[in-house]
A and B are shown apart, each in its own frame.
Chain A
Amino acid sequence: MGNGFSLFPAQASTFAPDVDALYFFVLAVSAFFALAIAVAVIVLGVKYRRRHVGEVGARVEGNLVLELLWSIIPTMITMVMFGWGASVYYHLRRAPDEALQVYAVGKQWMWKFQHLEGQREINELHVPLGRAVKVTIASEDVLHSLYFPSFRQKMDAIPGRYTTLWFEASQVGTYHIFCAEYCGTNHSRMIGQVVVMEPAAYQSWLSGGGEGSLAQRGAALFQQLACNSCHLDSGQGRGPSLKDIFGKPVEFQDGSSTIVNEAYLRESILTSQAKIVKGFQPLMPTFQGLISEEGLVALIEHVKSLSPNASTAPPAAAPAPAAPPAPATPPRR
């Protein structure tokens, strides 16, 4: 960033070369066909230009073989594009299990980032080189879109639910962060920079914070909101114990179950009556409007920290909770 004029963006993530290769492939095919058509119409235009006023063209009806050829060949070429594109996309969307977790909150008109260790940043994100980073994105107001052009990665921030993206930076440096989804007056000022650091430098940057980790902040909030008066570790409280639940299945009063994940925790805090854990009463008040998006991620991190063995993600393909995405929104102005 700050570097001068260029015609091509920096390749600063592990999948930037993949995306670029795909891009050049489709571009090359496109250029070939565009040029072929351009040359053909010009050559034909010169060769068959009208020589005298009354001339008409020859009678040619059409040709079935040709029609089939130029339908089937492009179809096959586009299927290659589709397959290749879909595999790159799957890679872009599927975060590896051991990814470093970062939270991002978009609001008019800034990006707020929080690290698990407690650092909070605005419009700036520090990430280590060579480590997968998963960003969980929320929005406090309208749609935004978190965009890292040098990483070739982007995801909308949608009020009322979490979305995620991930990347692994491959080159030390400072790169743009943009908001790509129009969000009002200062949409074009909702920009920032992502700083890719050597792992050691990143570690020392992390320890420079001193606010306490995200989970610690969540623990404080847990006390402050009196969550701890019901959610006793012993399981004897009025609410279920939150110890060692993350990544494990939980069963509800109506017999259904789900795997505890961020989305479920978010829903349980904001829409506490949506799912009632089996054996408990629907006593918990809703925290809708009482807690900010940032406080929410701190609480979730706190709950996660109570499940030390669940640091690696739970088994894949959890049975779909046939439920709405945590339908809740932060307070509005």
Chain B
Amino acid sequence: MEATPTLPALHYLNNGYGLKSWLLTKDHKRIAILYLISISVFFFLGGLMALLIRLELATPEADLLSSDTYNKAFTLHGVIMVFFFLIPSIPATLGNFFIPMMVGAKDLAFPRINLLSWYIYLVGGIFTFYALAAGGVDTGWTFYTPYSAAVSNTHVIATALGVFIAGFSSILTGLNFVVTIHRMRAPGMTWFRLPLFVWAHYATSLIQILGTPVIAITMLMVFVERAFGFGIFDPARGGDPVLFQHLFWFYSHPAVYIMILPALGVMSELIAAFSRKKVFGYSFVAFSSLAIAVFSFIVWAHHMFVAGISVYSAMVFSFLSFSVAIPSAVKVFNWTATLYKASISFETPMLYAYGFMGLFTFGGLTGLILATLGTDVHLHDTYFVVAHFHYIMVGGAIMGYLGGLHYWWPKMVGRMYNEFLSRIAAILVFVGFNLTFFPQFVLGYLGMPRRYHMYPPEFQVLNVLSSAGASVLGLGYVLPLLYLLYSLKKGAVAGPNPWGAAGLEWRTSSPPPTENFPITPRVTTEAYEFEPQMAPEFKLV
């Protein structure tokens, strides 16, 4: 029982060395690591932009950046964080790594397409880097026409192409997941034995497949308008700029769920593992993911309530927008009920899960205020919206991502990180986050519009609070980078199942062998069956 675990002799990390063994790999686990590295680069780049923004906003005047630079900073912050960090964050790293393992497969259905998707992502990233290096882009991540198509004199074309290309990487990831989940399940792994993480990714993939092509074609239309002088959205030729918004949000609203659904999946895993209990109402949680995916396609115009759309259309979209709140609420209630009669321990991943519960719930509920027509007229395009979606994107998606990363890190690298430091970081993130974004709700109701470089002096107190919070938050993000890197060499060896968790991925060595399992597993039990003997002492392999 007390025997110190050792690393397995052969695993995916030492199965071949050298750059070529990585850059030409078809192993989903290695591709996940490649993604992990690249999205981290983008995350810190986007974070740097956020830092510039918050520094500038500490005073009402324009003292650090010029207006043009400021506009470029928030545009790149948005483009990088949305298209190059949040959308690939959990699916392409944790999903890529663990979906094949969770369904009991050797790899994804199309390993070469998986690698291709990473290269496509890189090409998209290079276009964006080029735009950044050549002088930036200032349209906002939403690329609203006619500003983007005709007026802005920055590098819109390169950025639009970057987003266009990165979209295909996202499509291919989704396609791979759908086929894997349909066709590659191990014997006995029925749909209702799948971990909820897999269900959430299935729903995410549907959105990636159905939504992403629409943003791709929209970006292409902006491209032909700008590059060749075509007129599709150009009001001077009778085009309608609002049509762009319809097409843009047809993707970009569901895209919010591309970012948050995988985090909801991670949450189900964390709650189950750290309360050693099956998720309450498994099938409701599973189907709520699909419901969110489908409903997400019929609510998009709630981003356009004051964009001159018809009053009736606005009412229909407001009505439908509430429908997407219900499955989200169902999830939160079920997680809470899971804690009843559980055996809860508070290691770092569970701290993130608790933080997520608070922030996602609050973020989601403030969404109701924005879905309500009467209040949205006042709040649209103010800091209230900024605060709301950061609660979902940062408080939800990034908390989920960090929680998942801490949960599966021992599996991915075979070693533990420093538990004390990681708890400190989790608390810093939670406190810093709230300090940063809670004041922005107040600012938003006061009427401070988003994307403002300067603001009336009476808004300063709240802005200073927000900037102060951002520095705490920044610290909370840098800390994991340090101790996780440190753990690669010096961390204690984790063993196959350090948390006493259920699930196929914990039934193989850490790190797993290239083919994931020594023999194809046969599944005979439901998901989240925690047997008393599955405590950490028990060795399965």
Report the bound CA distance from A234 to B509 in whole Å. 95
Residues of chain B in range 367-383 having any CB-CB distance to chain A below 8 Å = 368-369, 371-378, 380-382
Please state if A156 and B374 are interface contacts (CB–CB under 8 Å): no
- Chain B residue at minimal CB-CB distance from A79: B322
Give chain A residues whose Cβ lies under 8 Å from the Cβ of B537.
53-54
- Which of A57, A61, A87, A88 is within 8 Å of B342, CB to CB? A57
| A159: Cβ under 8 A from any B Cβ | yes
Give chain A residues whose Cβ lies under 8 Å from the Cβ of B357.
37-38, 41
| B126: Cβ under 8 A from any A Cβ | no
Report the bound CA distance from A63 to B341 in whole Å. 14
- Chain A residue at minimal CB-CB distance from B461: A5
Give chain B residues whose Cβ lies under 8 Å from the Cβ of A179.
449
Please state if B330 and A85 are interface contacts (CB–CB under 8 Å): no
Please state if B374 and A143 are interface contacts (CB–CB under 8 Å): no
- Which of A9, A22, A56, A143 is within 8 Å of B375, CB to CB? A22
Residues of chain A in range 95-147 having any CB-CB distance to chain B below 8 Å = 108, 141-143, 145, 147
Please state if B339 and A45 are interface contacts (CB–CB under 8 Å): yes
Report the bound CA distance from A5 to B536 in whole Å. 55
| B277: Cβ under 8 A from any A Cβ | yes
Give chain B residues whose Cβ lies under 8 Å from the Cβ of A66.
281, 333, 337
- Which of A30, A31, A156, A332 is within 8 Å of B307, CB to CB? A156
Please state if A30 and B277 are interface contacts (CB–CB under 8 Å): no
| B445: Cβ under 8 A from any A Cβ | yes
Report the bound CA distance from A26 to B307 in whole Å. 23
Q: Give the interface size bracket for A toward B.
A: 35 or more
Please state if A188 and B455 are interface contacts (CB–CB under 8 Å): yes
Per-residue CB contact flags for chain A residues 171-193 toward chain B (1 = under 8 Å, else 0) read 00000101111111111110100
| B442: Cβ under 8 A from any A Cβ | yes
Please state if B140 and A182 are interface contacts (CB–CB under 8 Å): yes
Please state if A324 and B238 are interface contacts (CB–CB under 8 Å): yes
Selecting from B47-55, B194-202, B513-521, B527-535, the interface stretch reads B527-535
| A224: Cβ under 8 A from any B Cβ | no
- Which of A7, A33, A53, A153 is within 8 Å of B535, CB to CB? A53
Report the bound CA distance from A239 to B205 in whole Å. 60
Please state if A30 and B368 are interface contacts (CB–CB under 8 Å): yes
| A226: Cβ under 8 A from any B Cβ | no
Report the bound CA distance from A189 to B341 in whole Å. 57
- Chain A residue at minimal CB-CB distance from B446: A9
| B451: Cβ under 8 A from any A Cβ | yes
Number of A-B contacts (CB under 8 A): 311
What distance in Å separates the Cβ of B31 from its nearest Cβ neighbour in chain A?
34
- Which of B235, B343, B381 is within 8 Å of A160, CB to CB? B235
- Which of B325, B380, B454 is within 8 Å of A189, CB to CB? B454
Give chain B residues whose Cβ lies under 8 Å from the Cβ of A37.
332, 336, 357-358, 361
Please state if A62 and B281 are interface contacts (CB–CB under 8 Å): yes
Report the bound CA distance from A62 to B533 in whole Å. 23
| B217: Cβ under 8 A from any A Cβ | no
- Chain A residue at minimal CB-CB distance from B359: A34
Please state if A62 and B362 are interface contacts (CB–CB under 8 Å): no
| A262: Cβ under 8 A from any B Cβ | no
Please state if A81 and B284 are interface contacts (CB–CB under 8 Å): no
| A60: Cβ under 8 A from any B Cβ | yes
- Which of B358, B378, B445, B533 is within 8 Å of A153, CB to CB? B378
**Known contacts A23-B445, A158-B241, A59 near B152 by CB under 8 Å:** no
What distance in Å separates the Cβ of A1 from its nearest Cβ neighbour in chain B?
8
Give chain A residues whose Cβ lies under 8 Å from the Cβ of B67.
185-189
| B311: Cβ under 8 A from any A Cβ | yes
Please state if B340 and A86 are interface contacts (CB–CB under 8 Å): no
Report the bound CA distance from A283 to B458 in whole Å. 57
What distance in Å separates the Cβ of A242 from its nearest Cβ neighbour in chain B?
25
Please state if A60 and B372 are interface contacts (CB–CB under 8 Å): no
Give chain A residues whose Cβ lies under 8 Å from the Cβ of B334.
62, 67
Please state if A44 and B446 are interface contacts (CB–CB under 8 Å): no
Please state if B278 and A23 are interface contacts (CB–CB under 8 Å): no
What distance in Å separates the Cβ of A32 from its nearest Cβ neighbour in chain B?
9
**Known contacts A23-B369, A82-B372, A54 near B318 by CB under 8 Å:** no
Q: Give the interface size bracket for B toward A.
A: 35 or more
Please state if B375 and A23 are interface contacts (CB–CB under 8 Å): yes
Selecting from B93-101, B143-151, B476-484, the interface stretch reads B143-151
| B329: Cβ under 8 A from any A Cβ | yes
Please state if A19 and B375 are interface contacts (CB–CB under 8 Å): yes
| A319: Cβ under 8 A from any B Cβ | no
| B190: Cβ under 8 A from any A Cβ | no
Report the bound CA distance from A162 to B510 in whole Å. 64
Please state if B535 and A54 are interface contacts (CB–CB under 8 Å): yes
- Chain B residue at minimal CB-CB distance from A187: B451
Selecting from A70-78, A214-222, A248-256, A294-302, the interface stretch reads A70-78
Give chain B residues whose Cβ lies under 8 Å from the Cβ of A147.
381, 447, 449
Give chain B residues whose Cβ lies under 8 Å from the Cβ of A41.
336, 339, 354, 357-358
Please state if B318 and A86 are interface contacts (CB–CB under 8 Å): yes
Please state if B68 and A185 are interface contacts (CB–CB under 8 Å): yes
What distance in Å separates the Cβ of B476 from its nearest Cβ neighbour in chain A?
20
| A84: Cβ under 8 A from any B Cβ | yes
Please state if A149 and B378 are interface contacts (CB–CB under 8 Å): yes
Please state if A63 and B281 are interface contacts (CB–CB under 8 Å): yes
| B138: Cβ under 8 A from any A Cβ | yes
**Known contacts A54-B533, A56-B531, A60-B277, A70 near B147 by CB under 8 Å:** no
Please state if B340 and A44 are interface contacts (CB–CB under 8 Å): yes
**Known contacts A5-B461, A9-B445, A143 near B147 by CB under 8 Å:** yes
What distance in Å separates the Cβ of A195 from its nearest Cβ neighbour in chain B?
16
Please state if B144 and A327 are interface contacts (CB–CB under 8 Å): no
| A4: Cβ under 8 A from any B Cβ | yes
Per-residue CB contact flags for chain A residues 3-31 toward chain B (1 = under 8 Å, else 0) read 11111110000000011001100110111
| B453: Cβ under 8 A from any A Cβ | yes
Report the bound CA distance from A200 to B449 in whole Å. 33
- Chain B residue at minimal CB-CB distance from A325: B240
Residues of chain B in range 348-365 having any CB-CB distance to chain A below 8 Å = 354, 357-358, 361-362, 365
Give chain A residues whose Cβ lies under 8 Å from the Cβ of B151.
108, 141-142, 184
Give chain B residues whose Cβ lies under 8 Å from the Cβ of A19.
374-375, 377-378
Report the bound CA distance from A88 to B378 in whole Å. 11
Please state if A33 and B365 are interface contacts (CB–CB under 8 Å): yes
Please state if B146 and A60 are interface contacts (CB–CB under 8 Å): no
- Chain B residue at minimal CB-CB distance from A90: B311
What distance in Å separates the Cβ of A163 from its nearest Cβ neighbour in chain B?
5
**Known contacts A85-B372, A155-B306, A67 near B281 by CB under 8 Å:** yes
- Which of B344, B453, B532 is within 8 Å of A49, CB to CB? B344
Q: Contacts A4-B458, A74-B329, A185-B71 known; list 18 others, CB within 8 Å.
A: A26-B372, A34-B365, A37-B358, A45-B354, A48-B344, A54-B537, A60-B280, A62-B281, A62-B284, A82-B319, A152-B377, A156-B306, A160-B236, A185-B138, A186-B67, A188-B67, A329-B236, A332-B236
A–B Cβ pairs within 8 angstroms, 28 of them: A22-B372, A26-B368, A27-B369, A37-B336, A41-B358, A49-B343, A53-B536, A55-B532, A56-B532, A56-B535, A57-B277, A58-B341, A58-B342, A60-B277, A60-B278, A61-B282, A70-B329, A74-B326, A85-B371, A86-B373, A141-B151, A153-B378, A159-B236, A176-B447, A182-B381, A188-B451, A329-B236, A332-B150
The chain A residues found within 8 Å of chain B, CB to CB, are 1-9, 18-19, 22-23, 26-27, 29-31, 33-34, 37-38, 40-41, 44-45, 48-51, 53-63, 66-67, 70-71, 74-75, 78-79, 81-82, 84-93, 108, 141-143, 145, 147, 149-150, 152-156, 158-161, 163, 176, 178-189, 191, 324-325, 327-329, 332
**Lowest 5 A-B CB distances belong to which pairs?**
A149-B447, A57-B277, A88-B374, A85-B372, A54-B535
